[in-house]
Amino acid sequence: MNRRYSTIMTVAAIAVMGGALFGSSFTAPLNAGSTMEVETSPLAKVAAMGGLELMMPEAYAAGPCSDLLDSGRPVVNFDLTGVSVDLPTMTGSTYSAMTFSEQVPGPTLRVTQGDVVHMTLTIPGDEVTQHGNDMHASQMSSKPYMGAVNIGETGEYCFIAEVPGVFKYHCSGVNIAAMDQHVLSGMYGITIVDPLDGYKRLMVEKTALQGGEVVKDKKFYDADALEFQLQYNQLYLTDAGTYDMGKMMSHSTSQTVVNGQAFGYVPNGIHNLLMFGDANKNIFLAQPWNSMDLKQYQSQLLFVPTDEHVRFFIENQGNEPVYWHIVGEILDRVTQANRVQAQGTETWLLGGSQNMIVDVVFDEPGIYAAVNHDYAAIYSGAATIFVAGLPLDPVNEAATSLGVVQGAVDAGSYAGVLGNPHDAVPPAGANTIAHPALNVHCLCTDDVANAAIENGALPLWEVIPAVIAAAQG
């Protein structure tokens, strides 16, 4: 066939299929911002055509779960539910979120290279739509393992985590239909696959003065590290708090979120009180989550000691690039797919569904900001504040007067008193340095927050008033 006519026929075929699958009956409610109404006729067409599932040779399909579960390898169980809930935004309104297990992001899965992952996805009987799962850490056929799970049913997946690194997992929509809506409404998370032989020690290249001359001075840090996880995404919302596909298509971001919240890791009213003696006098230019009445949604700072190995697991879950940078620090090492990509760099670029492990040593006590160095992203929510060491004299004095300063001194950071937000801390691995304490912080339901409390995380909205009352009494 003439190449020109072949191209025209191909374009025409795509247009016809697009009209059938994503015609006005389907796209209109999305563009109008509806998150909960799912048109059945287009989905029936999708099903009649076999669904929007990638077709791969059967030779690539993973075996039944029983084969892997009985293989003799270590097995890690990972059970999720697909649940739609309303969650708050920084404007004080709520939005129609879709979640894995009632939280955004979903729970973090951490395994060791070579482990068998046994995962289930349950869709409750009262859920409004089907959901699916796409595990980027897996190597298995998309058909039939990544299709939609019916309402009231449970899907089961098994795979071997063969490749170390950080990997996205996300909802695959209804056999890919509306996948954008499900993911950008909150259905995403990460899998951390630790290397079988562990992480490598960190080398930081400095300089020293010897005999009046400047010479190179390499400093080595053990592979064990204090660890954090940060996941970046965008919200595209109507005024009613529902998903707006039109905004997504035009890249018109409503808010940029880190672990589900815009400006979720900035000072709050507690920090204002410790710093200025006034809970309403803000430290930072944007503090939308100030009040203790917000409970698990109140923003929290991240605390680290100086001169200690810190490891970040970073994932770009969204639609926009992430130019990851720490204001005031150098990224000492950037690793992707268990390969070092850079040592001693200022910023690292992550495209959509890209990840990295970043190793940093904070040299000096002070205030640092991890940002997506896209100014639109910074001003719409992608700023995360770290405090290294114990640099704030007013806070030190307040902690002393409250009788709690020794905890901070012992930890080398304010985490010894206030803890670090539990949603920014991944499950522990073989090379993890334990945080001195965790506080309850998450874009999640009360049930998830209460489970964190039961696991030892501090509800600061209860702890701080009790400490103040004890000191005054």
CATH number where 262 lies: 2.60.40.420
Q: Are residues 301 and 411 in the same domain?
A: yes
Residues 319 and 430 in one domain: yes
Q: Based on the domain organization, do 328 and 369 belong to the same domain?
A: yes
Same domain, yes or no: 190 and 256: no
Q: Is 28 among the domain residues?
A: yes
**Is 60 within 8 Å of 109 (Cβ atoms)?**
no
- In the three-class reduction of DSSP (H, G, I as helix; E, B as strand; rest coil), residue 69 is classed as helix
Asked if 283 and 272 touch (Cβ cutoff 8 Å), the reply is yes
- Tally of domains in the chain: 2
**Residue 139 pLDDT grade (very low, low, confident, very high; cuts 50, 70, 90):** confident
167, 85: one domain: yes
Question: Are both 175 and 269 inside the same structural domain?
Answer: no
Q: With contact defined as beta carbons under 8 Å apart, do 166 and 314 qualify?
A: yes
268 within 8 A of 287, measured Cβ to Cβ: yes
- Residue 214 inside a domain? The answer is no
Q: 355 pLDDT exceeds 80? A: yes
Tens-digit pLDDT profile for residues 442-468: 999 999 999 999 999 999 999 999 998
- CA of residue 316 relative to chain centroid, distance: 8
37 belongs to a structural domain: yes
In angstroms, rounded to a whole number, what is the distance separating the alpha carbons of residues 338 and 137?
Answer: 13
Model confidence at 388: pLDDT above 70: yes
Q: Cite the annotated binding site by residue number.
A: 131, 136, 170-171, 182, 187, 373
**Residue 324: its pLDDT value, please?**
98
pLDDT in tens, 424-444: 999 999 999 999 999 999 999
Residue 264: domain span = 224-472
Q: What is the mean pLDDT of the chain?
A: 88
- Tell me whether residue 217 is in a domain: no
Residues 101 and 174 grouped into a single domain: yes
Q: Closest Cα to residue 261, out of 240, 235, 227, 285? A: 235
Q: Kindly compute the dihedral angle of the four CA atoms of residues 272, 276, 277, 283, in this order, to the nearest 10 degrees.
A: -20
What the block records as the tokens of 417 is 């008193």
Give the residue, 286 or 34, on which the prediction is more confident: 286
Mean of pLDDT values over 364-368? 98
**Which residues are annotated binding-site positions for Cu cation?**
131, 136, 170-171, 182, 187, 373
Is there a contact between 124 and 152 (Cβ–Cβ < 8 Å)? yes
- pLDDT by residue (tens digit) across 3-36? 443 443 333 333 333 343 333 333 333 344 444 4
Rg (CA), the chain: 24
Tokens representing 190 are 């990460």
Packing angle between helix 40-48 and helix 3-22, nearest 10 degrees? 130
Residues 465-471: contacts with CB under 8 Å, at least 24 apart: 465/292, 467/402, 467/404, 468/402, 470/403, 471/401, 471/402, 471/403
Q: What is the rounded CA–CA span in Å between residue 86 and residue 97? A: 6
Provide the percentage of residues in the chain whose pLDDT is more than 70.
85
Residue 179 shares a structural domain with residue 328: no
Closest CA to 222 of 195, 194, 198: 198
Decide which of 155, 174, 194 is a domain's last residue.
Answer: 194
260 and 320: one domain? yes
* Same domain? 367 vs 424: yes
